[in-house]
Amino acid sequence: MGAPSTDTSNKYIGNPAAIALGKQFYFDKDFSGGEVYADMLLRPMTTPGRAPLGQPIKVACNTCHEVARGGSDHTSDPPGNTVSFGGGAYDVNGQQTINAAYSDLIYWNGRNDSLWSQIVAVAESHVSVNGSRMRVAWRIIDAYRAQYTAVFPDYPLPPELDSIAAQKALLLPDGTCALVNSACPAECQATNGPCLPRFPLEGRPGFVRPGQQPVCTWGSTETILQPYGDAWDCMQLADQLAIDRIYVNWTKAIAAYEYTLISNNSPFDRWAAAGFPAGMLGPSAERGARLFVGKAACKECHKGPVFIDKEFHDIGVPQLGTYVPRTTDCPVGDWCDCAGDDRFEPLNCLPIGARDGLRKLQASKFRRDSVWSDDEDCRRHFTLHTDPNYAKDNPAECDGRIQYYSMALTDEQRGAWKTPSLRDVALTGPYMHNGMYKTLREVVVHYNKGGKIDAMGGEVIGTIDSKIKVLNLTDQEIDDLVAFLESLTGQIDAAVIAEPVVPPDSAF
């Protein structure tokens, strides 16, 4: 396979020290927060979670993206569940980190344009890692100070971030600072309200409900989305920016490691390298390969060595499953809102897939053209990126991602999800964005019916792609396609996936 597409917004890709540090971060469970027992729509969960309510979930990237097993989640499998579990229940099934660097857009709905910006989101998501950027900074101070300083010499750590123990000594049980001679002491600040630590131990940007003022409002009741109240929102802007830099650097190191997660040398790769000689892959898989490129036309979308087309398609997979939202679960004005007009409002209509993802990408503050990017040209032209003519005239800018920044929202994007890679697919079940199929045979049967399956009460969204047709495959042909898919399981360099030593947990 050729090298993955470049990411000029992350200058640490290929840097051995950053990769080694990113690997430790990838396996470190002490960046995660507590169990919330709620799904993506903030509804209470009905299945057991990872820990009792409020207790640490102790997940790392590797928990849900096990590099030794296709980079996928083998831990979220209570009966009847089809999605991934972290602090709560996701609205979608897991994806792979192996070969993710080949993607143009990240996530099932494409709402991020780089691997590092994906991590900015996942680390603070209540259904996932449920951590906080303040925690990331303190964990680095406590456990990785020397390595961090070596990898990021141009970004010195703020001297006020000293030790977790010293920080804790300042605090009263309610998280405010103890007053000294009835004044807020120097290590604390009262700029935006009560006397608070300049750098709280936990804190992430607050969630602003419609109608709520986007200012520091100490004591917010939005407990799931604001587990640390407004600790972050009350910080001074310069301090927030210093922490954001540490946070982004942390994500870039992890992404540098992800760029090394490439699987190769599958039975299929060896067969291709030998020039497809008859008898080498086995008769069933070889027939399956012919069906894949011929009668079944899978390669219309699963193209090239990674089996992706960098597109989004509606192949008839319904919104189905306990935690997989339907549009009726998302009324106007709610956290998940499919009823408002998404041309004007920053809504959150999860069930519609790529249309929601593209809109979020267009509003993202952590894109390849943002202040956090290392790609100076892309960054410099930021204000031009909403102009479709500029994108048309400069298609290669921002590693080609510029096309998405001004792309129109269309009806075809409704119910469309990202074409997943098929490498290692035998290891990555359950399948589809909703996780509705446990086996590859069920997936092939889906295609055999032209995507027009019994939706079992689920909601079919949008219009099925015209490339999906009834295939009239025989039982043998279905088995052959499955045998072909099973031949795509590759190998990864043992040193890349060997578990690293991670420092002991910090005393938060």
Q: Using CB under 6 A as the criterion, which residues of the chain lie in contact with ligand HEC when the complex forms?
A: 59, 61, 63-65, 73, 84-86, 90, 92, 94-95, 97, 100, 103, 106-108, 115, 118-119, 122-123, 128-129, 254, 296-298, 300-302, 313, 315, 317, 417, 419-420, 422, 425, 428, 431-433, 440, 443-444, 447, 465, 467-468, 481, 485
CA angle 491, 494, 495 (to 5 degrees): 140
CB of 44: closest distance to ligand HEC in angstroms? 18
Q: Give 171 or 297: the residue with its C-beta nearer to ligand HEC.
A: 297
168, 177 Cβ separation under 8 angstroms: no
CB of 289: closest distance to ligand HEC in angstroms? 11
Going by C-alpha positions, the residue among 340, 457, 403 that lies closest to residue 110 is 403
- Distance in angstroms (rounded) separating the CA atoms of residues 436 and 80: 10
CB of 46: closest distance to ligand HEC in angstroms? 18
Going by C-alpha positions, the residue among 19, 492, 46, 463 that lies closest to residue 266 is 492
**Inter-CA distances, 95 with 66, 224, 336, 439, Å:** 11, 24, 22, 16
Residue 95 token pair: 């994806």
CB of 335: closest distance to ligand HEC in angstroms? 15
Amino acid of residue 202: E
Going by C-alpha positions, the residue among 112, 117, 121, 484 that lies closest to residue 286 is 484
CB of 272: closest distance to ligand HEC in angstroms? 17
22, 256 Cβ separation under 8 angstroms: yes
CB of 142: closest distance to ligand HEC in angstroms? 18
Q: Give 83 or 231: the residue with its C-beta nearer to ligand HEC.
A: 83
Q: Give 59 or 196: the residue with its C-beta nearer to ligand HEC.
A: 59
CA dihedral 110, 116, 120, 121 (to 10 degrees): 20
Q: Give 76 or 240: the residue with its C-beta nearer to ligand HEC.
A: 76
- Distance in angstroms (rounded) separating the CA atoms of residues 138 and 441: 47
Query: From the CB of residue 23, how many other CB atoms can be counted at a distance below 10 Å?
Result: 26
- Distance in angstroms (rounded) separating the CA atoms of residues 445 and 436: 13
Going by C-alpha positions, the residue among 464, 472, 144, 108 that lies closest to residue 314 is 464
Q: Give 95 or 167: the residue with its C-beta nearer to ligand HEC.
A: 95
Q: Give 80 or 156: the residue with its C-beta nearer to ligand HEC.
A: 80
Q: Give 89 or 234: the residue with its C-beta nearer to ligand HEC.
A: 89
CB of 212: closest distance to ligand HEC in angstroms? 25
CB of 162: closest distance to ligand HEC in angstroms? 26
Q: Give 188 or 306: the residue with its C-beta nearer to ligand HEC.
A: 306
